[in-house]
């Protein structure tokens, strides 16, 4: 048993400094849990900011100095990004150090290679903070639900996107103003298009699907659609029909394969997840033994993310002297991963919300519903909104909710609807999920 372990922190941004703060402030409680003191003895950062106080800790501008420091036992990779982070983590692993990371892009894109290197070097790479900030969802799925065949999971796993949708819904706020606020609060990615376009959520979903279904990490196969096209109108019409629009990551397994998709989704207001607002995240997981479960908590921010980072550090400290006793990185033994294919988005089945701009004249609605009927698409609800003046023509919005249908069929029907003379522009489509 070690009396202390030496921690090296690479990156002193929002999460890095949050992790340092938690390790220092909760040192006594943490030591009681870890079985030894966890001491930050080396920080790699380009600069210490004015508000940051790190005492006498050694500071290097080069993060690789931390990975190469012979005194360091556990390296915290909190620099973010992909290529440099990958190089840093592989360096630390080859130096025999355990690694804790909050980097979802790193794990989703390079995780297979990183875990193989960690196994070869008999070290642990822990990544709880990579998904859903402070919610211990990795441990919940990988360990807590290990007895189940997991059927599907669905989550609000990007705090920034949920914050934007909530502010649009509750205050009618402008998209760009809310995004700026999320950036100021430290929620958004360095490149906020990752949040808005669903890439960040797809990174996290890729990780969740792997630990849920025992498949290799396959970020390149995830379908990703952002929230940039959602209008306040869509939010209000959905509300009127009994639904909320949430930016969901959904992973399901069936006989045919694995669904891996991130897109705006209409969710019934009755569902608990429809009430998850602001920066909060929630993940629903359905298992054949446990039934339906949901995990809720802050999905971003310095201290919630640090909570997950330091929990991993404590885990690593607990297994420090016998790393082979730890849980496999993806929960399943590496030689037991499944090669079930990830399905293309055209193969999934979903209900749909359609918003169609059409001229206000007799027979338009009938033409639209006839096309849907020809494709065997069942309508669940229709509303038609008062025409508003639009240059010379009077234009109305037709909102249609459909029952479940294969996406490829819906695509063909949408093309036919867009070809109608009375229909103007693109049909807006949002998927619905009964969860």
Task: Show which residues are catalytic.
Answer: 204
Closest distance to ligand HSE from the beta carbon of 157 (Å): 7
How far apart CA 390 and CA 20 sit, in angstroms, is: 57
Between 160 and 357, whose beta carbon lies closer to ligand HSE?
160
CB of 187 to ligand HSE, least distance (A): 4
Hey, how many other C-beta atoms are within 10 angstroms of the C-beta on 362? Answer: 7
**Cβ count near 3 (within 10 Å):** 8
Q: Which residues does 224 contact at the CB level (< 8 Å), separation at least 6?
A: 197, 198, 199, 201, 202, 261, 262, 263
Q: Name the minimum Å distance from CB 306 to ligand HSE.
A: 12
Taking the least distance from each CB to ligand HSE, the nearer of 85 and 300 is 300
Cα 45 to Cα 63: distance, rounded to the nearest angstrom: 6
Residues engaged in binding ligand HSE (CB under 6 A): 133, 158-160, 187-189, 195, 200, 299-300
For ligand HSE, the closer CB: 192 or 214: 192
CA distances from 388 to 330, 392, 397 (A): 54, 11, 9
The distance of closest approach from Cβ of residue 141 to ligand HSE in the complex, given in angstroms and rounded to an integer, is 17
When the beta carbons of 160 and 307 are compared against ligand HSE, the nearer one is 160
Tell me how far apart the alpha carbons of residues 435 and 433 are, in angstroms, rounded to a whole number: 5
| Cβ nearer to ligand HSE, comparing 6 with 158 | 158
CA distance 326 to 138: 14
Residue 130 Cβ, how far from ligand HSE at the closest point, in Å? 8
CB 152 within 8 A of CB 251: yes
Q: What is the dihedral of CA 18, 21, 25, 31, to 10 degrees?
A: 90
Q: What dihedral angle (degrees, nearest 10) is formed by the CA atoms of 194, 280, 152, 119?
A: 70
């Amino acid at each position: 048993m070690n009396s202390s372990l030496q921690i090296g922190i690479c990156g002193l941004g929002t999460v890095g400094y949050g992790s340092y703060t938690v390790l220092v402030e909760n040192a006594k409680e943490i030591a009681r849990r870890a079985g030894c003191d966890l001491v930050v003895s080396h920080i790699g950062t380009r600069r210490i900011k004015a508000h940051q106080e790190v005492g006498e800790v050694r500071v290097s501008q080069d993060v690789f100095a931390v990975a190469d420091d012979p005194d360091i036992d556990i390296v915290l990779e909190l620099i973010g990004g992909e290529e440099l982070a990958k190089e840093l983590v592989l360096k630390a692993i080859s130096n025999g150090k355990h690694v804790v990371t909050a980097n979802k892009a790193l794990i989703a894109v390079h995780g297979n290679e990183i875990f193989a290197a960690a196994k070869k070097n008999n070290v642990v790479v822990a990544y709880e903070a990579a998904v859903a900030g402070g919610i211990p969802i990795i441990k919940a799925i990988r360990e807590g639900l290990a007895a189940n065949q997991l059927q599907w999971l669905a989550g609000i796993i990007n705090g920034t996107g949920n914050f934007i949708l909530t502010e649009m819904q509750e205050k009618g706020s402008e998209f760009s103003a809310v995004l700026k606020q999320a950036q100021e609060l430290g929620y958004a990615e360095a490149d906020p298009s990752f949040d808005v376009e669903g890439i960040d959520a797809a990174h996290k979903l890729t990780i969740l699907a792997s630990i849920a279904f025992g498949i290799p990490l396959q970020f390149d196969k995830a379908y990703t659609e952002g929230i940039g096209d959602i209008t306040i109108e869509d939010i209000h019409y959905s509300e009127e029909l009994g639904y909320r629009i949430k930016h969901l990551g959904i992973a399901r397994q069936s006989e045919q394969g694995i669904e891996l998709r991130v897109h705006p989704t209409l969710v019934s207001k009755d569902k608990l997840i429809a009430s998850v607002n602001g920066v909060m995240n929630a993940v629903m997981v359905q298992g054949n033994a446990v039934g339906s479960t949901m995990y809720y908590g802050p999905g971003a921010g310095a201290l919630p993310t640090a909570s997950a980072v330091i929990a991993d550090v404590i885990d690593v400290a607990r297994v420090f002297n016998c790393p082979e006793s730890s849980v496999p990185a993806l929960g399943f033994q590496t030689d037991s991963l499944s090669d079930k294919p990830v399905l293309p988005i055209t193969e999934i089945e979903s209900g749909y919300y359609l918003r169609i701009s059409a001229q206000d004249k007799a027979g338009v609605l009938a033409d639209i519903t006839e096309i849907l009927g020809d494709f065997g698409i069942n309508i669940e609800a229709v509303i038609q909104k008062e025409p508003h003046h639009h240059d010379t023509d009077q234009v109305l919005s037709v909102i249609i909710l459909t029952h479940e249908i294969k996406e490829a069929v819906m695509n063909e029907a949408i093309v036919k609807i867009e070809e109608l003379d009375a229909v103007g522009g693109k049909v807006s489509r949002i998927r619905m999920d009964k969860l």
